[in-house]
Structure 1
Amino acid sequence: MARCTTIRPVMRPTRLSFRLFVPLLAVGLLVVGCSSLSNTEKGAAIGAGAGGAAGAAVGKAVGETAKGAVLGAIVGGTAGAIIGQRMDKKAEELDENLENAKVQRVGEGIVVTFDSGLLFDFDSAALRDDARTDLREFAGSMKDDPQTDILIVGHTDSIGADTYNQRLSERRARSAGEYLVDQGLARDRLTLTGKGETEPVASNKTESGRQLNRRVEVAIYASKEYREKVQKSVSRR
């Protein structure tokens, strides 16, 4: 028997083009579909049941800010199913092309988690050479999909002062974002933020847990313009 899950409220990030931001608006209680449904079916079921004001099942190893960006862009219904189909294909493409990242489908979007141990040296925001390869592959895949917006979120473990970790996470997000722009992604598609140590996905009491918490997440979701275009197209049918 399929199991359904309820996700607690998350914060929806505002759109501040290529600047660091603080999430401002709370999204309502998010209810997910059953695990037996495909991502496309979930998009349609969400819209039919709650007019788009709902989320989808997500993996535990995703920070609240990345989840909030994707879930906040859900439209649901037939339009959500169309967007979900597009994201299914993009997620498969990214999963095939990115060797050092975890690709997860979330709602009507995608979250890509880069291990910052591969992106950066310890206590550094300078991109490593192998990280440039991964980000170059990511940019190449996303350049042909201008209907999406991209949020980059930097994270750290809990070692060190809170304020220092916050600044480090911001610098790491900015380094990744600037490199993606250098690779041809439009600057106005990107939003950057750092969350410091505030969104751990594992225990900071062990080295293996701290390593998981040192990461960069990239949330991919349909742009406002594309969502409106799809919804208008569906309404005319």
Structure 2
Amino acid sequence: MKNALLLIWIAVLTLSVSSCSKTKKLARQHHELEDTYQTLKREMSEAEVTLEGEKVKVVLPEAVLFNVNSADLNTEYLPILGRMATILNKYDKTSVLITGFTDVTGTENYNLELSKKRAESAKAVLVKNKVNSGRIFTWGLGDKNPVADNSTLSGRKQNRRVEYVILYDYKPEKE
């Protein structure tokens, strides 16, 4: 009976320690994301930086825009992305998901490919600024999720963009 009670007590203690470790890990992750958010918000005033649950979203309104049919980032915004890279390098446990978008002026397939190239172009700038490429994941969504009216020139210009989502230690699922 004493052995059984001892085993139960050890099991409860082990579960308690394990649960405590998980809680500490989650708190550390949230703290890292909160710090990342605060730093990006402070250092990148031209960006819309939001903390949404367990992710930080960075959108550069009227900034990282692309010309029609182009995946080349406008060079005037490279210094802004350089500052973002410096911040990301400071928080090296974070991962970055970059999503590229287009306006509606091309075919669905063309827009999908162009949006992928835009995301890769944005990734290349971060990698050039020494962000580890293994921390950066990209995909293109074509003309999905517009942020402005595609029936106007101004709206289409805003929809040619990339968005950055920063997560703590993201690992994609294995296929």
Same fold (TM over 0.5): yes
For the residue of structure 2 that corresponds to 1:94, the secondary structure is helix
Q: 1:183: which partner in 2?
A: 129
| Residue 173 (1) aligns with residue 119 (2) | yes
Q: 2:18: which partner in 1?
A: none
Instruction: Indicate the RMSD between aligned Cα atoms, in angstroms.
Output: 2.3
Q: Could you tell me which of 60, 68, 73 is aligned with 1:114?
A: 60
Q: Which has the higher helix share?
A: 2
Distance in structure 1 (CA, Å) of the matches to 2:138 and 2:112: 13
| Residue 145 (1) aligns with residue 145 (2) | no
Q: Could you tell me which of 209, 215, 225 is aligned with 2:161?
A: 215
Q: How does 1:117-136 map to 2 (within 5 A)?
A: 118-136=64-82
Query: Displacement, 1:142?
Result: 0.6
Q: Please, what TM-score do these two structures have when normalized by structure 1? A: 0.57
Distance in structure 2 (CA, Å) of the matches to 1:119 and 1:196: 14
Q: 1:153 to 1:82 in 2, by over 3 A?
A: same
Aligned residues: 150
Cα distance per residue 1:156-201 (max 9 Å; x no partner)? 1212211111111111111110111111011111111111102223
- The structure with higher relative contact order (CA 8 Å, sep 6+) is 2
Distance in structure 2 (CA, Å) of the matches to 1:223 and 1:171: 24
Cα distance per residue 1:190-234 (max 9 Å; x no partner)? 111111102223432344443332221111001158xxxxxxxxx
Structure 2 runs not aligned, ≥5 long: 1-21
Q: Please, what TM-score do these two structures have when normalized by structure 2? A: 0.75
Q: 2:44: which partner in 1?
A: 98
Query: Equivalent pairs: percent with the same residue?
Result: 32
Q: Could you tell me which of 133, 156, 162 is aligned with 2:108?
A: 162
Q: Could you tell me which of 193, 202, 205 is aligned with 2:139?
A: 193
Q: 1:80 to 1:206 in 2, by over 3 A?
A: farther
Structure of greater Rg: 2
Structure 1 runs not aligned, ≥5 long: 1-75, 226-237
